[in-house]
Amino acid sequence: MTETPTPEPTRTPPPDADADGLIDLLDDFPQDPSRSKQLRYASGAPVVEGYPLVVDTAQLDERLVNWIKTPQAVALAPGVYVGYNPAVTDLATYLESNVGDGDCAVRDLYEFGGGACWDGVLASPAEPQP
Ligand SMILES: [Ca+2]
């Protein structure tokens, strides 16, 4: 009895259009190599484009400048911040903790759990301008 060798199957790797290492099926941004996962607020809304980002606390609304005790803060949404810990560089972690100080309406909109709020806190000049 002779065995016909099974031909090696040819494998086509799953498509990864932006070549960021995450296949398109799992990539929320299949055309953007700098992003792969869509972050969301507690409300379920997608995180505002360009956020989260690290900003200098001194650039914020003066009420935040007096409140946040770290030299840098993480802007989680326009007008909402949390103190930045240089030991925690994955900014998604700050969103997951869902604590932020800043504008009352924005905090309510995205359902932040903890933090202080003031009316009329605007995004700082360091943030993406609408
Ligand atoms: Ca991507």
> What pLDDT, on the 0 to 100 scale, is given for residue 97?
95
- For residue 58, the CA-to-ligand 1 centroid distance in Å is 33
- For residue 50, the CA-to-ligand 1 centroid distance in Å is 15
Give residue-wise pLDDT tens across range 94-121: 999 999 999 999 999 999 999 999 999 9
Asked, for residue 46, whether it belongs to a domain, the answer is yes
Whether residue 20 is predicted with pLDDT greater than 70 in this model: the reply is yes
Asked, for residue 14, whether it belongs to a domain, the answer is no
> Which residues 6+ apart lie within 8 Å of 69 measured at CB?
83
- For residue 39, the CA-to-ligand 1 centroid distance in Å is 13
> What pLDDT, on the 0 to 100 scale, is given for residue 2?
67
Asked, for residue 6, whether it belongs to a domain, the answer is no
- For residue 38, the CA-to-ligand 1 centroid distance in Å is 10
Give residue-wise pLDDT tens across range 24-71: 999 999 999 988 889 999 999 999 999 999 999 999 999 999 999 999
Asked, for residue 12, whether it belongs to a domain, the answer is no
DSSP output for the chain: -PPPPPPPPP-PPPP-TT-SSS-GGG-SSTT-TT-----B-TTSPBPPTT-SEEEEGGGS-HHHHHH--SSEEEEEETTEEEE--TT---THHHHHHTB-EEEHHHHHHHT--B--EETTPPPPTTSPP-
- pLDDT-derived band of residue 8, with 50, 70 and 90 as boundaries? confident
- For residue 25, the CA-to-ligand 1 centroid distance in Å is 10
Whether residue 3 is predicted with pLDDT greater than 90 in this model: the reply is no
Kindly list the protein residues that place their beta carbon closer than 5 angstroms to ligand 1, a single-atom ion: 18, 20, 27, 29, 32, 36
> What pLDDT, on the 0 to 100 scale, is given for residue 111?
98
Asked, for residue 10, whether it belongs to a domain, the answer is no
- pLDDT-derived band of residue 10, with 50, 70 and 90 as boundaries? confident
46 and 116 Cβ atoms separated by less than 8 Å: no
> pTM of the prediction?
0.83
* Residue corresponding to tokens 């030991």: 87
Asked, for residue 82, whether it belongs to a domain, the answer is yes
Q: Residue 60 sits in which domain range?
A: 39-118
Asked, for residue 70, whether it belongs to a domain, the answer is yes
- For residue 17, the CA-to-ligand 1 centroid distance in Å is 8
Asked, for residue 21, whether it belongs to a domain, the answer is no
Query: How many domains in the chain?
Result: 1
> What pLDDT, on the 0 to 100 scale, is given for residue 1?
60
